[in-house]
Amino acid sequence: MPRIARLKSAECSYHVMVRSISEVQLFKEGEDKDRYLMTLKRYQSVFDFKVYAYCIMDTHAHLIIYANGADISKIMHGLNLSYAQYFNRKYGRHGHLFQDRFKSKIIDTDSYLAALSGYIHNNPTDIPGYRDRVEDYPYSSLGVYLGKAKDIFKLLDVSFVLGHFGKNISLARRQYVEFMKCC
């Protein structure tokens, strides 16, 4: 039975999700998460897309990407293939690393974009030590949103999402924190 065609458009924003196959952690250590983000940056330089938010967990990752004229399938194919080759070489394994192909959903409203960014940024609440301080989780864009961390990979466009919460950055950050409590 053929796969269902992916809904996509070169001018859309997407919620992109990747997950590991069941017996393997997708990211075993911080270095692996850094490598995934560095590789994302490399592909951003090629395809000129925007990243609005991310959260990299041990077994999966969430991204909000604005394609900006690029094909989301080409972006994610390159990113995931490059990362899988790195991972398999580093850990002496072969074969598939990702469960199925990446999942993507078109973000079609500003309210969905805001709610999704809150959902993604709240992902670390299940990690011991981060329940009440998700902004300190180093592999999420939330710290950058709130001005508590630097965007060391220079990946993010936080102004797009924060712009929905106010024109003044301090006010927008405070309102975003309040909004996240509801997500």
- pLDDT reported for residue 177: 95
- Banded model confidence at residue 74, pLDDT cuts 50, 70, 90: very high
- pLDDT reported for residue 97: 94
- Banded model confidence at residue 2, pLDDT cuts 50, 70, 90: very low
Residues in Cβ contact with 45 at an 8 Å cutoff, skipping those fewer than 6 apart = none
- pLDDT reported for residue 71: 95
Tokens read off for 13:
């924003």
